[in-house]
């Protein structure tokens, strides 16, 4: 009996040791971080955040993250002049029908050993051919798996083996002042690493995307950096660099990145369903202020507490069917407080179409909870950038 028990305990010990080694060195073999059952990503521990810079500065983080950041070259066939074959047109204007293809430049981040790459939608939008160049000089043609113009994100896939993969960090743990690095291919000069800090969080109402929740940084971001990585001092992906504020076309110390938390939601929707499905309730919201409060007969104190006032309700829409009325002030969606239109839009978009969800509203002097069953938000036309 003792011998059997000893053999059993030794077997269990060996199996646990093997599991620990595999989980530490090759977590993708265990399917950890699998999204939609087909994309295996590596996620950092929840506690991992942007701490201080180590003795070697950003060197180690840059080395780890840079390998997974790629350059993206796109080409688009030039539009043919409709009069190109007209002999009279050729006689007066010459042969102007053959224009050179249009080229584009951007960056991307490898997020899975199976070849999935995150980038910006505006980097690859309208492209006929997409070429990905790895930091180790390997090249491959990329396939577009899906795009989400609402967040300006796109998912590509390449067929190469032994791909370096970036670790997905916890962007919700970022705080203003945390050191970060931007990695990409600005102006096509080659992979470049710049450093800075998190200047602000939750930037919105910039008119860049439909859903905006940007990380603002002063790390230098320039044309060509779009789709590249914003990483913390551990080399973990915190955001996808997307846009800059500039009067000259170059960096002025104000850059914006999409949080990796948003990117993971988009990745999950595209890989699982082929698109990102968002909720819609059919209302016309406005940020509550003193003038609107007076117009709808609300107390001035209501405006001081914030919220979003509903100024219009679509007839027979989800909100109207649930009993939402013009003049209602939405203060929370599924228990999460909302204080402006951007937050309401994001919160409603996260709701599952067809499933009732509670909205907390102020109606005159009363606070009530209304269950609204969202519909499916239709994809709008891409924003002109």
Query: Nearest-CA neighbor of 224 among 126, 142, 119, 77?
Result: 119
- How far apart (Å, rounded) are the C-alpha atoms in residues 52 and 378? 43
H/E segment holding residue 16: helix 2-25
Ordered DSSP codes for 309-372: EEEEE-TTSHHHHHT--TT-EEEEETTEE--SHHHHHHHHHTSPTTS-EEEEEEETTEEEEEEE
Residue 1 burial (C-beta neighbours within 10 Å; 0-12, 13-18, 19+): exposed
Q: Residues 152, 178, 218, 328: which is the catalytic one?
A: 152
SS (H, E, C) 84-100: CCCHHHHHHHCCCCCCC
Task: Name the region of 177 (left: φ>0; alpha: ψ -120 to 50; beta: rest).
Answer: left
Bridge partners of 367, per DSSP, are 362
42-43 and 167-168 strand pairing: parallel
The residues, any chain, with a CB within 8 Å of residue 287's CB and separated by 6 or more, are: 308, 309, 340, 341
Query: Nearest-CA neighbor of 145 among 113, 174, 170, 121?
Result: 121
Bridge partners of 310, per DSSP, are 285
State yes or no: is 71 an active-site residue.
Answer: no
State yes or no: is 236 an active-site residue.
Answer: no
Question: What is the rounded end-to-end Cα distance, in angstroms, of the chain?
Answer: 75
State yes or no: is 226 an active-site residue.
Answer: yes
Q: Residues 226, 251, 342, 357: which is the catalytic one?
A: 226
Counting every residue written for the chain, the total comes to 385
User: What are the E-state strand segments in 260-319?
Assistant: 279-280, 283-287, 308-313
Q: Residues 66, 112, 122, 357: which is the catalytic one?
A: 122
The label of the residue with tokens 């107390």 reads 299
The label of the residue with tokens 């914006």 reads 256
- How far apart (Å, rounded) are the C-alpha atoms in residues 330 and 368? 10
Catalytic residues: 122, 152, 226
């Amino acid at each position: 009996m003792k011998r059997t028990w000893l053999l059993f305990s030794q077997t269990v010990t060996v199996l646990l040791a093997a599991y620990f080694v595999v989980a530490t060195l090759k977590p993708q073999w265990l399917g950890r971080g699998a999204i939609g059952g087909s994309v295996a990503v590596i996620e950092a521990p929840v506690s991992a955040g942007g701490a201080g810079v180590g003795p070697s500065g950003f060197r180690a983080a840059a080395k780890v993250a840079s390998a997974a950041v790629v350059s993206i070259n796109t080409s688009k066939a030039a539009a043919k002049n409709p009069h190109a074959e007209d002999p009279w047109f050729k006689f007066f204007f010459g042969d102007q029908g053959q224009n050179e293809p249009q080229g584009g430049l951007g960056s991307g981040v490898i997020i899975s050993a199976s070849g999935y790459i995150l980038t910006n939608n505006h980097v690859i939008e309208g492209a006929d051919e997409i070429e990905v160049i790895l930091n180790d000089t390997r090249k491959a043609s990329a396939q577009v798996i899906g795009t989400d113009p609402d967040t300006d994100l796109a998912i590509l896939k390449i067929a190469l083996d032994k791909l370096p993969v970036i670790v997905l960090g916890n962007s919700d743990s970022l705080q203003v002042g945390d050191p970060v690095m931007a990695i990409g291919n600005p102006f096509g000069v080659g992979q470049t690493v710049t450093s800075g800090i998190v200047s602000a969080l939750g930037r919105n109402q910039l008119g860049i995307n439909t859903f905006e929740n940007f990380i603002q940084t002063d790390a230098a971001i320039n044309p060509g950096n779009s789709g590249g990585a914003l990483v913390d001092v551990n080399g973990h992906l915190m955001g996808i660099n997307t846009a800059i504020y500039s009067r000259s076309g170059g960096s002025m110390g104000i850059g914006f990145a999409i949080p990796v938390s948003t990117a993971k939601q988009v990745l999950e929707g595209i890989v699982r369903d082929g698109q990102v499905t968002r909720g819609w309730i059919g209302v016309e919201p406005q940020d509550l202020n003193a003038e609107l409060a007076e117009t709808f007969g609300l107390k001035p104190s209501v405006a001081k507490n914030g919220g979003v006032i509903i100024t219009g309700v679509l007839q027979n829409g989800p909100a109207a069917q649930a009993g939402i009325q013009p003049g209602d002030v939405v203060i929370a969606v599924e228990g999460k407080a909302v204080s402006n239109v951007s937050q309401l839009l994001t919160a409603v978009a996260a709701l599952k179409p067809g499933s009732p969800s509670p909205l907390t509203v102020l109606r005159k002097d009363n606070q009530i909870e209304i269950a609204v069953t969202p519909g499916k938000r239709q994809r709008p036309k891409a924003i002109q950038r």
